[in-house]
Amino acid sequence: MDIAIREIKESDYAAVLALWNGLGNHFVTEENIGPYYEKEKLDDNRRTFVAVLDGKAVGFITVMQFLSVGPPMVHMNINGLAVAPELRGKGIGSGLVEHVERYAARRGVSFLGLNTGFKRKDAHRFYERHGFRTDSYCYTKKLSDYPTTVTKKKLET
């Protein structure tokens, strides 16, 4: 199987949307996927890479880089990773993680992290095989319903 890994292109959006939705993420839609990835291309701290087989995206990984407060350490977070169900277990996810590790090393990243749901036991084993360790809980709090469009509001102090 000849898999190529490269940055996402517009022709990949439909396949990546299906992969996002396969994870149970229904906030990524036909309406917002294109504008998001077009903005991502302008932000040097965000990237999405796709695994391509026979000209079709069959997996993706999306990352965001940020600085920590305190010592000058650079962190990168994996915000999404998925492989087509029929191709899981064939090394595609591993290839995507390894690609990001090399990309992060070139950028001087100190730590690579991610969040995954408690029920995703197969994902936990996958990440642990790749050297990730559980060292914290991630808490979330819903502040509002997700808007269909992002609007800028003046920040008030």
pTM for the full predicted model: 0.81
Mean of all residue pLDDT scores within the chain: 83
* Confidence grade of residue 105 (pLDDT, cut at 50, 70, 90): very high
Distances (CA, A) of 18 to 10, 127, 133: 14, 22, 29
Cα(81)–Cα(97) distance, integer angstroms: 9
- pLDDT for 5 equals 97
Tell me the average pLDDT across 134-156.
Answer: 63
Q: What is the DSSP letter of 147?
A: P
Q: Which is higher by pLDDT, 82 or 136?
A: 82
In percent, the amount of the chain with pLDDT more than 70 equals 88
- pLDDT for 52 equals 97
Q: Note the pLDDT tens digit of each residue in 74-101.
A: 888 888 899 999 999 999 999 999 999 9
Pick from 16, 4, 10, 117: which is nearest to 59 by CA? 16
In percent, the amount of the chain with pLDDT more than 90 equals 40
Strand duo 4-7 + 56-67: pairing:
unpaired
- Domains of the chain and any CATH numbers: 4-129 (3.40.630.30)
Tell me the average pLDDT across 7-27.
Answer: 88
Strand duo 46-53 + 56-67: pairing:
antiparallel
Distances (CA, A) of 69 to 29, 66, 72, 73, 140: 34, 10, 7, 8, 20
